[in-house]
Amino acid sequence: MDLDAFFASCEQRERPEYKGCPVVVGALPGHRGVVAAASYEARRFGIRSAMPISEAYRRCRDAVFLRPDMEKYRRASRQVFRVLETITPDVEVASIDEAYLDITGLEKLLGPPEIIGSEIKQRILADTGLTASVGIGPNRLVAKLGSEYQKPDGLTVVRPDQVLDFLAPMPVANLRGLGRQTQKTFNRLGIRTVAQLRAIPLELLESQLGKKAAASFHRQAFGIATDQVVPARGRKSISKETTFESDVQDHAVLHDVLRGLAAQVAQTARREDLSGSVITLKIRFTGFETHTRQHKQTTPTQDEREILKTTWQLFLGSNLPEKPVRLIGVGISSFDDDPTGQADLFAQPEQRESDRQLLKTIDDIAAKFGTGKLQLGLSRKTGK
């Protein structure tokens, strides 16, 4: 199940005057940033996700440009997933607007796959006012490609004996994990469709892509993929980033922004009882040159002081280019089952309790007055 132009559809749902209008969610015209989502009316002008907002504005000056409202989209997402759980308990959340469902055995209750798919779409529309595209197939790959096949508001059912014919004419660009370099390799080999990929010997693919990538694309060409649906798999990472109106090279400014981002990441982690051991710094320079740096902590953390200290060390000590920064971001991942993390053996019990109380106070104030109203006083030079 894949919701159609989700962010833009949420805005059109709440603002009826936007229905039928090209809606672009992302940065505002005249500001730095990219398109986060475009309504299908906007897509007719060639506007797509990740397009620079300046290009989107050039293509359609009459579009409605809106800043993202993530809390609104999360509420709508929760509504949709509650609907899905009325169909089957086996729901795996893939993203804020996408999920896999195991409908094995539902034929006896609801009918054939076409009826089940229609029921899913109708319930989502009736309960949330949003449209969804549904793909049904014998495994995750085929179901995912089916959901993309007739967007928007589509329903595609691919039975096991139809898989090879369904995939054959598709562009190889539709396959999972195909990046720019792999696309160049396929172009050089004259591979444009899945049928052409299927005809290439595996040994030749391995010589061009390496064994792991070659095996992945070879399996996909024949429609081979897992059919496992894992409910409540949980969040894999938490990240926050910001794009500057004009490029920034002042370390003091960058440190202050990192401090705010680290606080947001940490507060989200504590709210969700998560503690991460991998801390990530993301930097983008002019021309979309992007670098990421990671550090694995010995002890999982949900403390903004530790996150800031580590990201600042990554910034200063990772041989990053000395260029003005367009975007900067912070993230944590590799979550530990124990949200409090392993206790510091050298910290006094009263100090640990004091830290917990301090962070709880910050979270309580954020819940009441909004994130960013109170932050810890952190040194720009040390990040402590």
Would you name the residues annotated as active-site residues?
A: 98
Instruction: Please report, for residues 31, 33, 85, 175, 242, the alpha-carbon distance to residue 148 in angstroms, rounded to integers and kept in the order given.
Output: 31, 26, 22, 11, 30
Give, as one character, the DSSP assignment of residue 344: P
Instruction: Please report, for residues 125, 130, 141, 206, 281, the alpha-carbon distance to residue 133 in angstroms, rounded to integers and kept in the order given.
Output: 11, 10, 15, 35, 35
Three-class DSSP category at 314: helix
Instruction: Report the Cα–Cα distance between both ends of the chain, in Å, rounded.
Output: 45
Residue at token pair 């124990």: 338
Q: Does 152 sit behind a cis peptide bond, omega within 30 degrees of 0 on the bond before it?
A: yes
Concatenate the DSSP letters of all residues of 253-293 into one string. Answer: HHHHHHHHHHHHHHHHHHHTT--EEEEEEEEEETTTEEEEE
The candidate with the shortest Cα–Cα distance to 333, out of 292, 382, 362, 288, is 292
